[in-house]
Amino acid sequence: MNENDPTNNEEGESLSGNERFLAGSDKSFYTELEDDPYEEPVQEQPVSGSPLLSPPDEPGKGRMDVPHTPPEKKSNFGKYAALIAVLFLIIGSSFAIIYYSAGGDFYPDNNRVAVIYIQGTMLTGSVPSGLGYATSENICASIRKAVDDNSVKAIVLRINSGGGSGSASEEINTEIRKAQQAGVPVVTSMGDVAASAAYHVASSTDLIVANRNTMTGSIGVIWTFRNMSAYYEEEGIDFYIAKSGEFKDMGGTWRGLTDEEKEYADRVIRESYNLFVQDVAQGRNMTVSEVKDIADGRIYTGVSAKRIGLIDEYGNFYDAIDRAADMGGIEGEPTIYYVNKPSITNLLFGSKVQNDNIAESFVSYYEKSPFGKLAY
């Protein structure tokens, strides 16, 4: 052993490669030193104050394990709140559309003209509007609703009907007179046709506005009977009729009318006709004789009707609105309030097939009555 060898210490122990470097070998500053293969690797020390970390494959061996914290779940409250807000917005918008389409107004003013539609065959009772029938209950309720509304200054009846039940027109006329007595003027706007019972209603209003080509008039009464006895005989269908009086089965389809029944039917027709004529004379400020001269059931165009005094003016729907506004004391542009206009609610909440069946069942007593059909 070389005593002068700097790689040996005083105890004669061999120095490691690093120690030899520190010992000051002449080549230590210029020669790359190799680590002793038997030397334990130097482990990196943590920064002062930091806990010792264990390697992933040796948890807890001489070092502090860091507890595993699960990731926080993100709350969906914001998404649900936004979805609910959108749903409320859609629902609110839908109800607003329905409300406005039905004639509603969130901020009604005091200058409104109410519009009430009379469209289709006129009958008593109640059938959903927009199904081809104009029922007295629906129309009377609409008139009452308009009169009770302090913002309504006048009413326009938009008529497009060929007539129907004289009882229905009489019920409507009663409500028209009540509106007039309450100081609410009523104006008629005729569309394509306003005849018979429909003209009966129009004659009670304060002013009638029609087009030159409107079909109106047809002042008169008709009572139809159906005799199907030949068909029943051919089909081998026989009837036994038990009745308490001679006229109790009058109008039955199993036989025709007797001479006495025909005479009786004529008397009923004349009585109903006289009531019709008297109402027209009163409403149009004419004499009964003047009305009878033109009340033979014929249809008149708007031009002829104006000449003989059955209407007052030519004009369309909006002309009637303006005239009603003037009569109601409204200055400026009036607000139109549609009281019973067929609306989107019929599409959203009604089945066409179901409503058609309801209407058919309701009017069958009138259209297919075994006692005939008495109509204006």
Residues 188 and 309 in one domain: yes
pLDDT reported for residue 21: 47
Same domain, 198 and 328: yes
pLDDT averages per 10-residue partition of the chain, 376 residues: 51 51 49 52 54 53 58 66 78 62 58 95 76 88 96 97 94 98 97 97 98 97 92 92 90 92 95 97 97 96 98 98 96 93 54 47 55 68
- Catalytic residue list: 196, 248
The Cα–Cα gap between 34 and 49 comes to: 33
Give me 331's structure tokens: 């200055």
The token pair that represents 84 in the structure block: 């609910």
**Is 242 inside a domain boundary?**
no
Q: Same domain, yes or no, for 166 and 219?
A: yes
Residues 10 and 120 in one domain: no
How many structural domains is the chain composed of?
3
Angle 161-372-362 (CA atoms, 0-180°, nearest 5)?
Answer: 55
- Same domain, residue pair 24 and 101: no
What domain range is 267 assigned to? 110-227+259-375
Q: Are residues 88 and 189 in the same domain?
A: no
| Residue-level pLDDT at 353 | 40
Say whether 375 sits in a helix, a strand or coil. Answer: strand
Judge whether 71 lies within some domain: no
CATH number, domain containing residue 182: 3.90.226.10
Are residues 342 and 288 part of one domain? yes
pLDDT (0 to 100) of residue 42:
53
User: In this predicted structure, what is the pLDDT of residue 157?
Assistant: 98
What pLDDT does residue 44 have? 54
Picking from 174, 171, 211, 178, the residue whose alpha carbon sits closest to that of residue 300 is 211
**pLDDT number for residue 3:** 52
**What single-letter DSSP state applies at residue 69?**
P
Whether 115 and 131 map to the same domain: the answer is yes
Q: What pLDDT was estimated at residue 98?
A: 57
**152 and 187, same domain (yes or no):** yes
